[in-house]
Amino acid sequence: MALPLEGLHFQAQAARRSLSSRNPMKRKTPAGGVMDPRKLLHLAAVIERGSLVKAAKHLAVSQPALSKSMDRLESDLGIKLLERGPMGITPTTFGELLYSHARLIREEMDLAEKRIQKVEEGHARVVTFGTLPSLASSVVPLAVSRWRERHPRVLLRVVEKVQVELLLGLLRGEFDFIVGQTEFYGFWEGLKQRVLFRDRLCVFARPKHSLFRLAELSWADLAQFPWVCPMVGGRQRTVLEKLLASEGVDLPQQLIECGSIDFTKSLVAASDYLAMLPAHSVTADVSEGTIRALSITVPALRRNIALIFRERSPLDSVSRELITHIEAIGGDLSSEHPRVGADRGSATAADR
């Protein structure tokens, strides 16, 4: 489910705090000591099991050695991490914070171990990446078909989510990389991005929609009709709200929220519903004449599509080759925007 925009700042701050010391190398602490990643893994085991005895058994170390490890970690940091009580061991606020780092370190180590094991056993390489629904319906399939010719044995996993969920999944290590918008990127540390191509959003309607009979269109005109939009938090929904607000117009009374590009296009083609969609996602539909772009455009309807990945997890040659194809296909499709009002000879300067 897409996250509401009003909750984004909280998520970003939490993610930033969680990533501030993600490097699994030993790091200097404020107290001048050294943070040992092994002790962080010990901390995670203790918190998860609520007992030094159970954690020691799981880690295959002695209970006194584990107790000493925790005491040393608290001493190095100069803060209390664990509370010992009759109901077992529970983390303090600082313990919970450090536990989030420990889990990330452990997950990265587990992932590295699994990848090494697959290579040793001769298993196919696995590439997992996330992308937006609009890209998954157009650019990505075409790019994958080209890329697959050179990499028939690589297991490819493609997951489509909204932008915020893509970023959170990338931070959690669920994806090798993501292809999405540059929006919200600056909220998180530990990520790098590279713009692949520049796309544009257009407002689409069925070819016989009454709006095509108007000489000039305003957003107030468009708000009189029902709309189908992405879930709250999607860029299209955000842009629509801002554009309508700039003209003092409320959101349409009839509004459907949907995360499916195919459903959106089908509904627009069969009714008076309007939708704001990326141009590359409707190239075939426009060519077939099932939907058509309305002659209204503003700078806010342009967006950058970028590759985003974890700074400490550089991409291998297989992933880079796939990204090269996505960049090429995206650029090609984005250069073939529907001619806004072309049959009336009134394309805007932005369309020429």
Q: Taking Cα atoms as reference points, which of 132, 115, 148 lies closest to residue 308?
A: 132
Q: Which residue has the higher pLDDT, 314 or 211?
A: 211
Give residue-wise pLDDT tens across range 268-294.
999 999 998 888 888 889 989 999 999
Least confident of 89-93, 220-224, 245-249: 245-249
Distance CA 205, CA 334 (A): 19
Look at residue 65 and tell me whether its pLDDT is greater than 60.
yes
Do 92 and 152 share a domain, yes or no?
no
What pTM, to 2 d.p., does this model score?
A: 0.59
> Does residue 232 register a pLDDT over 80?
no
Q: For position 103, what pLDDT does the model report? A: 83
* pLDDT at site 235: 59
Per residue in 88-144, pLDDT (tens digit) is 999 999 988 888 888 878 877 777 777 677 666 555 678 999 999 889 988 999 999
Identify the residue with better confidence: 1 or 177.
177
Is residue 112 included in any domain, yes or no?
A: no
pLDDT of 204 > 70? The answer is yes
CA–CA gap between residue 251 and residue 174 (Å, rounded): 35
Do residues 345 and 247 both lie within one domain?
A: yes
In this prediction, residue 173 carries a pLDDT of: 82
> What pLDDT does residue 236 have?
61
* 69-81 confidence digits (pLDDT tens): 999 999 888 889 9
178, 274: one domain: no
Residue 6: Cβ-neighbour burial (10 angstroms; 0-12, 13-18, 19+): exposed
Furthest-apart CA atoms within the chain: distance in Å: 83
**How much of the chain exceeds pLDDT 70, in percent?**
78
Asked whether residue 237 is assigned to any structural domain, the reply reads yes
pLDDT exceeds cutoff 90 at 348: no
Q: Total structural domains in the chain?
A: 3
Is the pLDDT at 191 greater than 90? The verdict is no
**pLDDT over 60 (residue 12):** no
> Can you tell me the mean pLDDT for 226-243?
74
Q: What's the chain's average pLDDT?
A: 80
Shared domain check, 140 and 205: no
Task: Kindly state whether residues 163 and 190 are assigned to the same domain.
Answer: yes
Task: Please check whether residues 259 and 311 belong to one and the same domain.
Answer: no
The pLDDT > 90 percentage for the chain reads 38
Residue in 304, 167, 299 with CA at minimum distance from that of residue 242: 299
91 vs 1, higher pLDDT: 91
Q: Is 48 exposed, middle or buried (0-12, 13-18, 19+ CB in 10 A)?
A: middle
Please indicate, yes or no, whether residues 181 and 83 belong to a single structural domain of this protein.
no
Q: Is residue 120 part of a domain?
A: no
* CB atoms near residue 344 (< 10 Å): 11
Q: What is the pLDDT of residue 120?
A: 63
Domain annotation covers residue 116:
no
What is the bridge-based pairing of β-strands 191-205 and 227-229?
unpaired
Q: Are residues 250 and 292 in the same domain?
A: yes
- Predicted confidence at residue 13, as pLDDT, reads 47
Residues 284 and 311 in one domain: no
Q: For position 351, what pLDDT does the model report? A: 32
Residues 308 and 192 in one domain: yes
Which residue, 155, 146, 92, is CA-closest to 124?
155
What residues make up the domain containing 296?
Answer: 200-301+338-351
CATH number, domain at 290?
3.40.190.10
Q: Determine, yes or no, domain membership for 121.
A: no
- Is residue 350 over pLDDT 50? no
Q: Does 9 fall in a domain?
A: no
Report, as an integer, the average pLDDT of 148-155.
91
Position 242 in a domain: yes
- Domain CATH number, residue 61: 1.10.10.10
Residue 312 is assigned to a structural domain of this protein:
yes
* DSSP states along 179-208: EEESTTGGG-SSEEEEEEEEEEEEEEE-TT
